[in-house]
Amino acid sequence: MSAKRTDSNQSSIVAGLRQFGATVVDLHTVGHGCPDIGVGFRGKTYLFEVKTADGRLTPDEQKFHNEWRGIIYTVRTIEQAIQILCDDCEE
């Protein structure tokens, strides 16, 4: 079972993503290592695990990341999150 709490930077990252034009759904209460937020941007969906500068994945999060057959991004700042969205748009 995971802690089901949010990192201190999650609300500012969510606010910044919404200001950037993304939709964001909070997933942290799902538990079992599920990433913290789902992000929709330009027709694509992203899973973001939000961590502080020195934060690490919990064992449940690591297990989820290892077993997920898609991409999960770990982000620590709004700049990182926006860069992921922008990098994907350039492809």
Q: Flag whether 47 is in a domain.
A: yes
The token pair that represents 47 in the structure block: 């899973």
Q: Flag whether 28 is in a domain.
A: yes
Task: Look at the chain and report how many structural domains it folds into.
Answer: 1
Whether the CB-CB separation of 81 and 10 falls below 8 Å is answered with no
Q: Flag whether 63 is in a domain.
A: yes
The tens digit of pLDDT for each residue in 8-26 reads: 999 999 999 999 999 999 9
Q: Flag whether 4 is in a domain.
A: no
Q: In terms of Cα–Cα distance, which of 77, 68, 69, 74 is closest to 32?
A: 68
Domain that holds residue 50: 10-89
The tens digit of pLDDT for each residue in 67-90 reads: 999 999 999 999 999 999 998 665
Cα–Cα dist 55/53, whole Å: 6
Contacts of 49 (CB under 8 A, 6+ apart): 35, 36, 57, 61, 65, 72, 73, 74, 75
